[in-house]
C-alpha cells in the first residue's frame, strides 16, 4: 500500500466515524426537538439527553481530524477547496457553531429551553446537508479553475439534481442511523415506550434511505459516467451494503438482537461509504486533482502517520473507558447513576 | 462597506475577528482546568469540602466556555483553509505535524472532560475523580503548545528549503521546534494560567464586594491569588526571554514595538509617547539602558534599529501602543497578588479591604484585555509577512470575492454567541447561589461565615 492510499484511507475512516457518531448526535438532537414540540413522551427526551451529554465534544473532533488531516496529507486540497468553498464552508461553520453552543447552553444551563432546543435540533440536520456540498463538488463540473483562481459555479450547483439528491440522502441517513441507535439504546435502558417510538422511526426512515441511495446511483451515472463505471466495477460492495440493510431492518422489525442490528447498520454504511470512496480514487477532485499529484512530501507523510499511530494508542483506551462508563454501563443507561 | 474591496484585507479582518473571539475562550479553556485541579487537590488534602465545591462550580461554568471554545476553534481551523488557501498549501507541506497533534491533544482532553463532569459522585475513592483531571490539564496545555508552535513557525520558519517555489529538505521537527517556539509557547501557557487565575479570583472578589463574606470566597481568593503570583512572576521572566528572542531573530518586530529607529548601544526603552514627523518621539518616558538589557542582557549592548530595514519590510508602528499596554497590565497583574500576599503576611486585617478586592476584580477583564493586546501585537508585529521573510500576507490570501459578506456574517454569529453564553452563565449561577448549594449539599449549616 502506498503512502497516498494509506493517507486517504485513514482520512476516509475518520470521515466515516464522523458520519456515524455525527448522525447519531444530529438525529438525536432533532428527535429531541420534535418530541418536545409535539409534547409526546417526555421519557424519550431524557434518554436522548443522557446519551448525548457525555460524548458531544467527541463528535466534533472527528470532523476536525478530517479537515486538518486532509490539508496535512494533501496540501493542494487547501488551494482548490479552500478558495472555492469560502461561502458554503462559512455557512457550515455557522451551523456547527450554533449547534455546538446551543446544545451546551441547553444542557448545562439552568433550564431546558424551547428556543435553544429548536436551534440545535434544526442546525444539526442542516450541517450534514451543507457538508455534502464538498462531496458533490468533488465529482467535478461545479468549479471553474482558470489561471490563478478557483471559483464555485453556484448556479450549476443549485440547479443540479445530483447535488440535491446527495442532500436528501444525507438528511434521511442521519435520521435512519440515529433512530436505529436509539432503538437499541432505549431497549438497553429498559424504556419500553421510547423503544417503540424509535423502532417506528427506524422502520419509517429505512425505505426513504434506500430510495435516496438508488437516486444517487441514477444521478451520478448522468453527472459523472466515469465514476459510475468505477462504481459498477466494485458493485459487490454496494450489494453487500444492501444485504446489511436487509438484515438490520429485519432484526429491528422482529425486535431481536438490537445491538447486532445497529452493527449491521454501521456495516451497511461502511461498505457503501468505502465503495463510494474507492471508486472515486484516484481523484480528490475530478478532473483537476488526484491523490498522487496533491500528496505531501514523504518526510511529512511519515511523521504524520507516526503521530497518528501514537495518537491512536493514547485515544483508543480512553474511548473504551468513556464507552464503558456511559454507553455500555447498564446502570448508567438505566439512570441509576 | 466603505472600504474598497480587497480580499486580503477582509481576510485579515475576519481572521482577526475569529481569533480575537476564540482566544478569550481558548485562554480560559487552557488555564481553568489547572485551577480546578488545584482546588480539587486542596479539597482532598485538607479534607475541605469548600475546595471541592469550588472545583465543582468552576467546572460547571467551564463547560459552557469550553463549548464556545470548541466551536470557535473549529471555526478558525476551517477559516485558515478558506481564507488563506495559498498559505495553507505551503503550511501543509511544512508545519502540519503540530496542527495534526493539536487535534489529538484536544480529543484526549474532550474525552476525559466528558467523564470528569459526570462522575463527581460515582467513585468511592475520591482521589480517582481527581486523577481524571490530570489528562484534561495535559490535553489542554499540549493543545496550546502545539497550536502556538504553528504560530511561532510563522514568525521563524525553519525546517525546509525553498528554491524557485519548490519546497525541499523538509524536517517536520525542526519546523515545529523553531527558534520562536520555546519563548512563544511558554508565554502563551503561563499567561493562560495567569488570566484564568485572575478571572476566577474576580468572581470571588465581586461576591465579597457585594457583601457575601463567606469563607468559601476567601478560600477562593487565597487559592487564585497565590497561583496568580507564581504565574505572574513566570510571565515576567518569560517576557524577558521573549525580548532576547526577538532581538536575535526578528529585530524589526522588537524595534517597531519600542520605536527604536537608530541602531545604537546603551539603548533606552521608550514608554508611551507620540510619534511626530521624521520619527521624532515626544512625550515619552525613556528608561535608560533598559532596551539593551531587554534585548541582550547587558546595558552596553547594541540594539538593531528599524532604519536597517526597507520601508516595505517594517511592521506598522502602532504596535508600540499594544506592546506597552500589554506590559503595563502585566505589571499590574504582578502587583495585585503581591499586595495580597504581603497583606496576608503582615497585615491580615487589610486582606479583604475593598480597595484590594476592587483591584482583584479589575484584574479579570484586564488580564483578558492583555491577552488580546498581546495577540494583536504578535500578529500585526509580524506584518508584512504571513511567513516571516518567505511569504507576504496578501500572497497567502484567498482570491474569493465574498470575504466581506462573510465578515458581517461572523460578526453576527459571535455577537449572538457572546451574548448567549454570558446570559447562560449568569443564570446558571444566579439560580444556584453558593450559599444554597453549600446548604443543600450539607457542607454548611446556616451562617457559615467567619
Closest chain B residue by Cα to residue A79: B85
Torsions phi, psi for A214 (to 5 deg): -65, -40
Q: Which of A77, A187, A92 has its CA nearest to residue A138? A: A77
How, if at all, do strands A143-146 and A149-152 pair?
antiparallel
Q: Which of A18, A65, A69, A71 to mutate: most B Cβ within 10 Å?
A: A71
Report the alpha-carbon angle B122-B127-B129, nearest 5: 40
Question: Is residue B253 within 8 Å of residue B294, measured between CB atoms?
Answer: no
Closest chain A residue by Cα to residue B407: A90
Cell of A173: 441517513
Q: Do B88 and A304 make contact, defined as CB atoms within 8 angstroms?
A: no
Specify which residues B282 forms β-bridges with: B274
Cβ within 8 Å of residue A249, ≥6 positions away: A202, A203, A206
What is residue B450's predicted lDDT score, i.e. its pLDDT? 40
Count the neighbouring beta carbons within 10 Å of the beta carbon of residue A336: 8
Q: Which of A219, A235, A316, A246 has its CA nearest to residue A279? A: A235
Torsions phi, psi for A336 (to 5 deg): -85, -10
Structurally, chain A folds into a number of domains equal to 1
How, if at all, do strands A149-152 and B302-303 pair?
unpaired
Chain B positions touching A137 (Cβ under 8 A) are none
Q: How far is A269 from chain B (nearest CA, A)?
A: 24
CA A273, A278, A279, A282 torsion-angle sign: positive
pLDDT at A184 over 80: yes
Chain B positions touching A300 (Cβ under 8 A) are 93-94, 96-97, 170, 172
pLDDT at A217 over 80: yes
Q: Where are the alpha helices (DSSP H) in chain A?
A: 3-37, 42-73, 76-84, 86-108, 114-138, 154-158, 161-188, 192-223, 225-233, 235-254, 258-280, 298-322, 330-333
| C-alpha A19 chain-centroid distance | 2
Q: How far is A38 from chain B (nearest CA, A)?
A: 26
Structurally, chain B folds into a number of domains equal to 1
Torsions phi, psi for B272 (to 5 deg): 65, -145
Torsions phi, psi for B196 (to 5 deg): -65, -40
Chain A positions touching B432 (Cβ under 8 A) are 110
Give the model's confidence band at A52: pLDDT under 50 very low, under 70 low, under 90 confident, else very high.
low
What is residue A326's predicted lDDT score, i.e. its pLDDT? 72
Maximum Cα–Cα distance for chain B, whole Å? 76
DSSP-derived letter for residue B278 is: G
State the 10-residue block means of pLDDT for chain B, 450 residues long: 76 93 94 94 90 91 88 88 87 86 87 84 85 92 94 91 82 91 94 96 92 88 94 93 90 89 88 82 86 89 88 90 93 94 88 90 94 93 89 86 89 92 86 81 57
Q: Where do we find the cell 457525555?
A: A54
Q: How far is A264 from chain B (nearest CA, A)?
A: 26
Cell of B25: 475562550
The range of the structural domain enclosing residue A307 comes to: 3-333
Distances (CA, A) of B120 to A107, A160, B54: 17, 52, 13
What is residue A72's predicted lDDT score, i.e. its pLDDT? 85
Is B248 a member of any domain? no
Question: Is residue B249 within 8 Å of residue B184, measured between CB atoms?
Answer: no
pLDDT at A47 over 80: no
Is B276 a member of any domain? no
Q: Which of A96, A97, A153 to mutate: most B Cβ within 10 Å?
A: A97
Torsions phi, psi for A284 (to 5 deg): -95, -30
Q: Where do we find the cell 466534533?
A: A60
What is residue A66's predicted lDDT score, i.e. its pLDDT? 86
Q: Which of B196, B275, B183 has its CA nearest to residue B231? A: B196
Q: Which of A82, A119, A284 to mutate: most B Cβ within 10 Å?
A: A82
Q: Which of A67, A30, A311 has its CA nearest to residue B104? A: A311
Q: Do B104 and A314 make contact, defined as CB atoms within 8 angstroms?
A: yes
* Integer Cα distance of B198 and B201 in angstroms: 5
Is B272 a member of any domain? no
| C-alpha B450 chain-centroid distance | 36
Cβ within 8 Å of residue B410, ≥6 positions away: A90, A94, B14, B17, B18, B75
Cβ within 8 Å of residue B138, ≥6 positions away: B105, B108, B109
Question: Is residue A127 within 8 Å of residue A103, measured between CB atoms?
Answer: no
What is residue B2's predicted lDDT score, i.e. its pLDDT? 56
A113-136 mean pLDDT: 85
What is residue B276's predicted lDDT score, i.e. its pLDDT? 82
Asked if B115 reaches chain A (Cβ–Cβ under 8 Å), the answer is yes
What is residue A334's predicted lDDT score, i.e. its pLDDT? 65
Question: SS3 of A152, please?
Answer: strand
Maximum Cα–Cα distance for chain A, whole Å? 63
Cell of B268: 533606552
Give the model's confidence band at A286: pLDDT under 50 very low, under 70 low, under 90 confident, else very high.
confident
Q: Quick one: A221 exposed, middle or buried, by C-beta within 10 A (0-12, 13-18, 19+)?
A: middle
The range of the structural domain enclosing residue B49 comes to: 8-238+320-440
Asked if B233 reaches chain A (Cβ–Cβ under 8 Å), the answer is no
Cβ within 8 Å of residue A333, ≥6 positions away: A50, A185, A188, A189, A327
Q: Count Cβ neighbours within 10 Å for each residue of B426-447 and write b for 16 or more, e otherwise.
A: eebbeeeebeebbeeeeebeee
How, if at all, do strands B166-168 and B161-163 pair?
antiparallel
Three-class SS of B301-354: CEECCHHHCCHHHCCCCCHHHHHHHHHHHHHHHHHHHHHHHHHHHHCHHHCCCH
* Integer Cα distance of B155 and B437 in angstroms: 49
Q: Where do we find the cell 483531571?
A: B133
Higher pLDDT, B42 or A334: B42
Is B313 a member of any domain? no
- The pLDDT tens digits of the residues spanning A3-40 come to 888 888 988 988 998 899 889 888 888 888 888 787 66
Alpha-carbon Rg for chain B, nearest whole angstrom, is 23
Q: Do A300 and B106 make contact, defined as CB atoms within 8 angstroms?
A: no
Q: Which of B13, B63, B86, B89 to mutate: most A Cβ within 10 Å?
A: B89
A98-115 mean pLDDT: 78
> Does the pTM of the predicted model rise above 0.90?
no
Chain A positions touching B84 (Cβ under 8 A) are 82
Q: Quick one: B345 exposed, middle or buried, by C-beta within 10 A (0-12, 13-18, 19+)?
A: exposed
Cβ within 8 Å of residue B231, ≥6 positions away: B190, B191, B193, B194, B197
Q: Do B88 and A82 make contact, defined as CB atoms within 8 angstroms?
A: yes
Closest chain B residue by Cα to residue A115: B420
* Integer Cα distance of B251 and A35 in angstroms: 62
* Integer Cα distance of A227 and A280 in angstroms: 6
Amino acid at each position: 500500500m502506498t503512502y497516498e492510499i494509506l493517507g486517504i484511507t485513514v482520512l476516509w475512516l475518520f470521515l466515516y466515524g464522523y458520519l456515524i457518531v455525527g448522525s447519531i448526535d444530529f438525529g438525536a438532537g432533532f428527535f429531541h426537538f420534535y418530541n418536545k414540540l409535539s409534547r409526546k413522551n417526555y421519557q424519550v427526551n431524557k434518554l436522548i439527553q443522557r446519551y448525548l451529554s457525555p460524548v458531544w465534544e467527541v463528535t466534533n473532533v472527528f470532523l476536525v481530524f478530517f479537515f486538518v488531516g486532509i490539508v496535512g496529507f494533501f496540501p493542494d486540497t487547501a488551494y482548490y477547496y479552500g478558495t472555492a468553498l469560502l461561502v458554503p464552508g462559512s455557512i457550515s461553520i455557522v451551523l456547527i457553531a450554533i449547534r455546538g453552543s446551543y446544545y451546551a447552553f441547553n444542557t448545562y444551563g439552568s433550564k431546558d429551553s424551547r428556543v435553544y432546543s429548536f436551534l440545535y435540533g434544526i442546525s444539526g440536520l442542516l450541517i450534514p446537508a451543507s457538508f455534502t456540498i464538498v462531496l458533490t463538488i468533488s465529482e467535478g463540473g461545479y468549479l471553474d479553475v482558470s489561471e490563478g483562481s478557483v471559483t464555485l459555479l453556484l448556479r450549476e450547483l443549485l440547479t443540479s439534481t445530483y447535488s440535491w439528491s446527495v442532500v436528501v440522502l444525507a438528511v434521511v441517513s442521519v435520521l435512519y442511523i440515529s433512530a436505529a441507535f436509539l432503538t437499541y439504546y432505549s431497549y438497553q435502558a429498559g424504556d419500553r415506550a421510547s423503544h417503540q417510538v424509535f423502532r417506528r422511526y427506524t422502520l419509517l426512515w429505512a425505505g426513504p434511505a434506500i430510495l435516496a441511495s438508488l437516486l444517487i446511483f441514477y444521478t451520478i451515472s448522468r453527472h459523472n459516467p466515469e465514476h459510475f463505471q468505477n462504481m459498477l466495477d466494485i458493485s459487490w460492495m454496494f450489494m453487500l451494503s444492501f444485504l446489511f440493510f436487509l438484515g438490520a431492518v429485519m432484526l429491528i422489525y422482529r425486535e431481536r438482537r438490537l445491538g447486532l442490528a445497529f452493527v449491521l447498520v454501521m456495516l451497511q454504511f461502511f461498505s457503501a461509504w468505502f465503495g463510494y470512496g474507492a471508486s472515486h480514487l484516484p481523484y480528490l477532485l475530478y478532473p483537476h486533482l488526484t491523490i498522487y499529484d496533491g500528496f505531501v512530501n514523504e518526510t511529512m507523510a511519515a511523521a504524520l502517520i507516526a503521530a497518528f499511530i501514537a495518537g491512536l494508542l493514547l485515544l483508543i483506551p480512553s474511548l473504551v473507558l468513556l464507552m464503558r462508563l456511559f454507553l455500555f454501563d447498564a446502570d448508567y443507561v438505566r439512570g441509576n447513576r | 462597506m466603505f472600504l474598497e474591496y480587497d480580499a486580503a484585507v477582509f481576510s485579515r479582518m475576519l481572521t482577526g475577528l475569529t481569533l480575537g473571539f476564540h482566544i478569550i475562550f481558548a485562554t480560559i479553556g487552557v488555564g481553568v482546568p489547572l485551577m480546578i485541579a488545584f482546588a480539587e487537590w486542596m479539597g482532598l488534602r485538607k479534607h475541605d469540602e469548600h475546595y471541592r465545591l469550588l472545583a465543582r462550580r468552576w467546572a460547571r461554568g467551564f463547560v459552557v466556555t469550553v463549548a464556545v471554545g470548541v466551536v470557535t476553534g473549529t471555526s478558525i481551523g476551517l477559516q485558515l483553509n478558506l481564507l488563506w488557501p495559498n498559505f495553507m498549501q505551503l503550511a501543509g507541506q511544512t508545519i502540519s505535524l503540530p496542527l495534526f497533534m493539536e487535534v489529538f491533544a484536544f480529543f484526549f482532553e474532550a474525552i476525559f472532560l466528558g467523564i470528569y463532569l459526570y462522575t463527581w459522585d460515582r467513585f468511592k475513592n475520591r482521589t480517582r475523580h481527581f486523577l481524571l483531571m490530570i489528562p484534561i490539564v495535559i490535553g489542554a496545555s499540549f493543545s496550546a503548545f502545539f497550536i502556538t508552535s504553528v504560530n511561532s513557525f510563522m514568525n521563524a520558519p525553519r525546517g525546509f528549503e525553498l528554491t524557485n517555489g519548490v519546497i525541499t529538505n523538509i524536517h517536520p521537527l525542526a519546523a515545529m521546534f523553531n527558534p520562536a517556539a520555546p519563548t512563544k509557547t511558554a508565554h502563551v501557557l503561563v499567561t493562560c494560567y495567569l488570566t484564568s487565575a485572575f478571572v476566577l479570583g474576580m468572581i470571588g472578589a465581586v461576591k465579597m464586594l457585594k457583601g457575601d463574606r463567606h469563607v468559601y470566597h476567601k478560600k477562593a481568593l487565597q487559592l487564585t491569588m497565590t497561583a496568580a503570583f507564581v504565574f505572574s512572576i513566570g510571565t515576567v521572566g518569560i517576557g524577558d526571554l521573549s525580548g532576547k528572542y526577538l532581538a536575535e531573530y526578528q529585530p524589526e518586530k522588537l524595534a517597531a514595538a519600542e520605536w527604536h529607529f537608530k541602531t545604537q548601544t546603551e539603548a533606552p526603552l521608550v514608554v508611551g509617547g507620540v510619534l511626530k514627523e521624521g520619527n521624532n518621539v515626544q512625550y515619552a518616558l525613556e528608561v535608560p539602558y533598559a532596551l539593551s538589557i531587554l534585548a541582550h542582557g547587558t546595558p552596553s549592548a547594541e540594539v538593531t534599529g528599524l532604519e536597517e530595514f526597507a520601508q516595505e519590510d517594517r511592521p506598522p508602528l502602532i504596535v508600540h501602543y499594544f506592546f506597552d499596554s500589554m506590559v503595563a497590565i502585566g505589571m499590574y497583574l504582578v502587583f495585585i497578588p503581591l499586595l495580597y500576599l504581603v497583606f496576608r503576611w503582615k497585615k491580615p486585617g487589610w486582606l479583604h479591604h475593598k480597595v484590594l478586592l476592587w483591584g482583584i476584580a479589575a484584574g479579570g477583564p484586564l488580564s483578558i484585555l492583555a491577552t488580546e493586546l498581546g495577540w494583536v501585537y504578535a500578529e500585526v508585529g509580524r506584518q508584512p509577512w504571513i511567513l516571516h521573510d518567505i511569504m507576504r500576507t496578501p500572497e497567502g490570501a484567498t482570491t474569493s470575492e465574498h470575504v466581506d459578506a462573510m465578515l458581517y456574517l461572523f460578526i453576527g454569529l459571535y455577537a449572538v454567541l457572546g451574548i448567549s453564553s454570558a446570559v447562560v452563565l449568569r443564570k446558571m449561577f444566579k439560580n444556584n447561589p453558593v450559599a444554597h448549594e453549600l446548604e443543600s449539599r450539607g457542607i454548611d449549616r446556616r451562617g457559615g461565615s467567619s
